[in-house]
Structure 1
Amino acid sequence: MTRLFARKNRGFTLIELMIVVAIIGILAAIAIPNFIKFQARSKQGEAKANLKAWFTTERAFLQEKDRYDPDIKVIGYAPERGNRYAYYFATTKTCEVRGAAGIDAAQTSAFCIEVDTGKFKGAVAQPPEKKPSSLTFVGSGEDPGNPGLTTAGCPGCNVSAYAAGNVDNEAPGVDTWFIATKDAQATAACGNADENMAVAGTPFMSNNDVDCDK
């Protein structure tokens, strides 16, 4: 009876503990990368939603004024604060600053929106966009800038934009999305081999920050 009682109360052996630790390590190695990718996709939803909203605003402005305009103050585009992406609507980097001091209500012209450093302290305010390795516009109408407005002017003009942000908190790599008012054949810089068409009004991933930290 004493021997049976002692056997029931013995602890785990070192080998058993090592096996458990190894199993946990294997499960973590599988789960953590998948979690990071899921988290990144959730963050990327901001860029896609804001770019689509910008496209809709530009289309509405076109119906009223018969032209596009890269100036967000002119078209009335004002996405909510708390953005982890910067948005570029022209090569000119006159941006709407979003920091602890708030947005400058007196600013009358802006061709880009900075990352909200008031919320994301330490973030790069204007991360450089990673443009597609090749981009060729197709269809009628003038080609837009990259980003920006058609150089020839309107009517017949088009406009394009980028969203760029760090979604995995690692220094290299910038998650980048492209959108335009004209269809384009595009080859992503990295991480988007599934698509080769940037359809007008549909965000196109140019660089996937999670898979392309270069």
Structure 2
Amino acid sequence: MALPASALASVRRTCSSGTRGFTLIEVMVVVAIIGILAAIGMPAYSDYIRRSELPEAFSTLASQRVAMEQYYQDNRQYGTNTCGEGKIKFSDQPATGAKFSYACKLSGNNGNQAYTLTATGTSGHTKGHDYTLNEAGEQGTTQFKGAVTSKACWLKRGTEC
């Protein structure tokens, strides 16, 4: 027994109109997947940006150590009152673009035979990072990701040297 033509047309219209678009459940599943990916990706991206800003401190400390050693070769001391008697520049970055501030402290028997260079994070992802370098070339991390530490290396990624 065959259906009349008018009934068949009515069935076709109903079936074809029901298959358009997405259901609410499908949309919610997609939104949930995007949320999970964002929750995983954002911390990883933030850590990547932080690690890309740390080499500024490492290169500046290393170059300032070279300058201090050159000053020592000429004067047989690292300075009488200040490191290199003010001839050593401790920040070669413009004040608006620097991610670290730099300092030098003289020490030793006569107060001028040893020094410690320090880089302290000042902005963005570098806040909470402090690195040191002394006349013996010993690297140190005193603060990493906001936590106080005393590692004998420059921490970049994890908490172990």
TM exceeds 0.5?
Answer: yes
Match of residue 159, structure 1, among 99, 115, 139 = 115
Deviation at 1:153, TM superposition (A): 2.1
Query: Aligned partners of 1:34 and 1:77: how far apart in 2?
Result: 32
Q: Is the 8 A contact 1:167 1:175 kept in 2?
A: no
> Identical aligned pairs, as a percentage?
25
> What is the SS of the residue equivalent to 1:75?
coil
Contact 2:128 2:143 in 1 (8 A): no
Deviation at 1:80, TM superposition (A): 2.8
2:70 is the counterpart of 1:60: yes
The whole-number CA distance in structure 1 between the counterparts of 2:140 and 2:48 is 25
After superposition, where does 1:104-115 map in structure 2 within 5 Å? none
Match of 1:42 among 40, 49, 52: 52
Cα distance in 1 for residues equivalent to 2:117 and 2:124: 22
What is the alpha-carbon distance in structure 2 between the residues aligned to residue 187 and residue 78 of structure 1?
19
Shift of 1:175: 1.5
User: Cα 1:163–1:188, aligned 2, differ >3 Å: closer, same or farther?
Assistant: closer
Counterpart Cα distance in 2 of 1:78 and 1:167: 15
Instruction: Report deviation, 1:84.
Output: 2.0
Q: Could you say if the C-alpha distance between residues 58 and 42 of structure 1 is closer, same or farther in structure 2, counting changes exceeding 3 Å?
A: same
Q: 1:160 to 1:52 in 2, by over 3 A?
A: same
Q: Does 1:87 align with 2:110?
A: no
Out of 140, 152, 157, the position equivalent to 1:197 is 152
For 1:23 and 1:51, locate their aligned partners in 2 and report how far apart those are by CA, in whole Å. Answer: 44
In terms of fraction of residues, the more helix-rich structure is: 2
* Aligned-residue offset at 1:176: 1.0
Structure possessing the higher radius of gyration over alpha carbons? 2
Count matched residues: 141
Greater relative contact order, per chain length (Cα 8 Å cut-off, separation 6+): 1
Whole-Å separation in 2 of the counterparts to 1:187 and 1:85: 14
Q: Runs (4+) of structure 1 moved beyond 4 Å? A: 183-192
Cα distance change, pair 160–187 in 1 and its aligned pair in 2 (3 A): closer
Tell me how far apart the structure 2 counterparts of residues 67 and 182 of structure 1 sit (CA, whole Å).
14
Answer yes or no: is the 8 Å Cα contact 1:87–1:163 preserved in 2. Answer: yes
**Deviations 1:152-172 (Å, cap 9, x if unpaired)?**
2278x22111111145469xx
Give TM-score, length-normalised by structure 2. Answer: 0.69
**Structure 2 counterpart of 1:22, from 21, 24, 32:** 32
- The 3 A distance-change label for structure 1 pair 46 and 72 is farther
Relative to structure 1, the CA distance from residue 45 to residue 68 in structure 2 (aligned partners, 3 Å threshold; closer, same or farther) is same
Partner of residue 175 from structure 1, selected from 120, 129, 134: 129
Which ranges in structure 1 are unaligned for 5 or more consecutive residues?
90-147, 199-203
Aligned-pair CA distance for 1:183: 5.6
Are the equivalent residues in 2 in contact too, given 1:72–1:78 (CA < 8 A)? Answer: no
Q: What 5-or-longer segments of structure 2 have no aligned partner?
A: 1-11
Kept after mapping to 1: 8 A contact 2:91/2:102: no
